[in-house]
Every structure is written in structure tokens, then in C-alpha cells.
Amino acid sequence: METKYISKSGIEQWFKSIVDSGKRVYAPVNSRDQIEFKRVKNLSEVADEYVQTTQSIKASVYPKAEVLFSYEKEHGKVHLTDFNPDSIPETVLWKVHPCDAAGFKPLSAIFNWDSPDKLHNAHVQKTSVISFSCAMADESCFCTSVNGSPGNLAGSDIQLTMLPDGGAIAEIVTPKGEALVALSPTVFEADKGEDKTKYLVDLPARFSLEEVNAKLNKAFNSTVWKEQSERCIGCGACAFVCPTCACFDIQEDVHGSTGRRIRCWDACGFGLFTLHTSGHNPREHQSQRWRQRLLHKFSYMPARLNVVGCTGCGRCSRACPVDMNILEHITSIAEQ
């Protein structure tokens, strides 16, 4: 990894060179009173002064709805057309938070468990991540409790840490990052030796993952799930804003004799998620579904995929209509 300095005007020039290279650039934009990742052409469109985007960047590597393959039926025969990875354009994600970039690892771990996921991998391959370390946090943030930090480099190709002069420390993490630097190499100057940590928000850890994991391993039959989830209304808001939630549905989009098989986002919180055709539902109650959500992230994923299914971004807590606050709930389990 290489550390460089990039000035304010250097950032502007570099951003332009990325856009001019023909890659799609997505960045947080303030519109409709929400900060959302949108396609941008100019640096001036990019939002500043906010803690978190409403949605994560998950959709860039795991679209809300994506065609797995399409087919055509003719006289009892079927012709299949496979997903084409070349159809995915080169994409640069600008101003990603470290907690979002860190979400790529658990996502990819789920999608590639044993059998590789051609679609997800094609997106990942075509996506470069330029993260910005965090100078701000709010009461929902807890990345430092889940192996992350405001300056965590995991999942980033380049990370910028903004400096008071409008320039930034640029940490070039991966070959993909180097390729982005190569679009405008002259603006990357020698490292000025600035201490990055001075510019990061101070966010003390709120719980120990190991402790939580140990507690959860014994908590399946605990009454805590019912107590915590009584107010949960069973929507999918938490799952859909989450950078690591990957549960999906497979659906059929039919138009006469042609059709497409579609993978779309689903959520373990939905009552019908596990319903059998027979009417039997293994997770009949909301408390069981809430338990599944927490255990999957903090117990099952660490056990099976060796990765925690939470990056501490706090989006689920912010999005929840009834204040199901994940930090509050996990901390209370840790303290039990």
C-alpha cells in the first residue's frame, strides 16, 4: 500500500479524469431530503456534511432485482440466454464510508460459499471503491465494536482522509486503486506525513464481539427475543438498508413465450419468508424472525463463513419505523 497527498484541486482534477474515462461514477447526493448514491458527472453534485446515506452501496454489487438468465419457449423447446458479465459497466463508487466498503467481504462470503456466484462476482470485479474515512458519527454508529473503524481500509481500493486544507491523505490499497490513480497520476503528490488518526471521529467500542458471540451461542431459547421484538412490525426496512443482508427470492418475469428469471431482495423478517406450501412455517412468530436476524449476523455467519454479518453502519436502527435499535439490543445481550 502506498500513501500519497492529493490537493483540493487535485481531487477535482482526478474526479474529472475518472468521469472522463467513461466509468460510471456513483456518489452520495442530497435529493428529496435523503442522501442517496446516485450517478454523478460533477464533483459539485456530491453531498457533504452528513453522517450516513439512507441506503448502503450493496445494490452496486447485489442489485435489488437482477436477471439471472432469460429464456424463450418455442414448440415445447426452450432456449436459454445466460447472464452476460460483459454487460456490467465499469463502476466507481465515490465517497463510500468504511463501514459500507467493509460490507463487501460478508456479502461476497455469502454469495461465494462453496459455489461462486457469477453475477455478484461480475459486479465486484467491475466495481472500484473510493472510500472517505469518517470525521463524523452519530449515536447509531458502532463500527469500532464490529472489527471496523472510521479509517478501516477493508473493501476500499483507495481511501481518502480529508484534511483541513481541502486536500486529502490518499491510501492506495489495491491494484484497482492504482489503476484509478493512473488516470491522473500527477495529482498524487508525496505523502506529507500527516497522522490520519487525527482526522477520524473518536468512536469508542460499545461491546465485545467475542462476548456477544459467546452469549448468543447460548441464547437461542432466551426470552430476550420476544421482549425485544414485540414492537417489531415485520417489514424489511432493516434488511434492505443493510450493507450485508443478502437473503433473496427468485421470481419469474413472464411475457408470453419469453421470460426472465429474476433474483430480488428478500428479508428474513417477512412472515412468509420461510412459509412452506403445506402451510407449515418454521419461523412463524416475529420473535423467531428477529432472533434469526441477530443470530445469523453475530453467530451463524462467524461460525460458518468466518465473518461478522454487521459492519456497525447503524442504518437499520435509523431506518426502523419502531426504533428497533440494533446497538441497544446487542449491548443489552452483551450485558446480560
Partner 1 sequence: MEKLRERAAAILADGTVSLVIGYEEGTKRPRPLFCHDGESARKLIFDSRCFHNLAVYLTKKELVGNGRFAVTATISTLRSIMQLYVENQLSEDKLLILTVDLSGTLREFVTFDEISAYVEQFELKRSEREQAILTRIEGMTREERWNFWQEEMSHCFKCYACRSACPLCYCTKCVVEVNRPQWINPWPAPVANMEWHINRAMHMVGRCTACGACGDACPVGIPIDLITRKMMEDMAPEFGYIPGLPVKKGNALSTWKLDDREQFIR
Partner 2 sequence: MSEKNTYLPYLMTIDKVTKEAPGVKTFRLKFQDEAEAEAFEFKAGQFGEYSAFGEGESTFCIASSPTRKGYIECTFRDTGRVTSGLSSLEEGSTMGFRGPYGNVFPLDEWKGKNLVFIAGGIALPPMRCVIWNALDLRENFKDITIIYGAKSVNDLVYKSELKEWSERPDVNMVTTVDPGGETSDWKGEIGFVPTIVDKVAPSAENTIAIVCGPPIMIKFTFPVLEKLGFRDDQVYTTLENRMKCGVGKCGRCNVGKLYICKDGPVFSKEELNLIPAEEY
Q: Write out the three cell numbers for 4.
A: 500519497
Select from 28-36, 129-137, 178-186, 205-213 the region that touches partner 1 (CB under 8 A): 28-36
Does position 65 interact with partner 2 (CB under 8 A)? The reply is: no
Given partner 1, partner 2, none, residue 247, with its beta carbon under 5 to 8 Å by kind, binds partner 2
Given partner 1, partner 2, none, residue 240, with its beta carbon under 5 to 8 Å by kind, binds partner 1
Binding mask 54-73 for partner 1 (x = CB under 8 A): xx--------xx--------
Q: Are 113 and 106 in contact (CB under 8 A)?
A: no
Query: Which of 12/71 has CB closer to partner 2?
Result: 71
Binding mask 271-300 for partner 2 (x = CB under 8 A): --xxxxxx-x-xx----x---x---x--xx
Given partner 2, partner 1, none, residue 162, with its beta carbon under 5 to 8 Å by kind, binds none
Q: Are 137 and 203 in contact (CB under 8 A)?
A: yes
| Smallest distance from partner 1 to CB 183, Å | 31
| Smallest distance from partner 1 to CB 227, Å | 8
Does position 233 interact with partner 1 (CB under 8 A)? The reply is: yes
Cα separation, 55 vs 75, in Å, equals 45
**In the 3-class helix/strand/coil scheme, how is the chain assigned residue by residue?**
CEEEEECHHHHHHHHHHHHHCCCEEEEEEEECCEEEEEECCCHHHECCCCCCCCCCCHHHCCCCEEEEEEEEEECCEEEEEECCHHHCCCEEEEEECHHHHCCHHHHHHHHCCCCCCHHHHHHHHHEEEEEECCCCCCCCCCHHHCCCCCCCCCCCCEEEEECCCCCEEEEECCHHHHHHHCCCHHHEEECCCCCHHHHCCCCCCCCCHHHHHHHHCCCCCCCHHHHHHCCCCCCCHHHHHCCCCCCEEEEEEEECCEEEEEEEECCCCCCCCCCCCCCCCCCCCHHHHHHHHHHHHHHHHHHHHCCCCCCCCCHHHHHCCCCCCHHHHHHHHHCC
Does position 239 interact with partner 1 (CB under 8 A)? The reply is: yes
Given partner 2, partner 1, none, residue 277, with its beta carbon under 5 to 8 Å by kind, binds partner 2
Given partner 1, partner 2, none, residue 279, with its beta carbon under 5 to 8 Å by kind, binds none
Does position 304 interact with partner 2 (CB under 8 A)? The reply is: yes
Binding mask 108-147 for partner 2 (x = CB under 8 A): --xx-xxxxxxx-xx--x----------------------
Binding site for partner 1 (CB under 8 A): 32-34, 36, 54-55, 64-65, 139, 230-231, 233-237, 239-241, 249, 251-253, 262, 264-265, 267, 270, 272, 284-286, 317, 319, 321-323, 325, 328
Binding site for partner 2 (CB under 8 A): 68-69, 71, 73, 76-78, 80, 82-83, 85, 110-111, 113-119, 121-122, 125, 220-221, 246-252, 254, 259, 261, 263, 266, 268, 273-278, 280, 282-283, 288, 292, 296, 299-300, 303-304
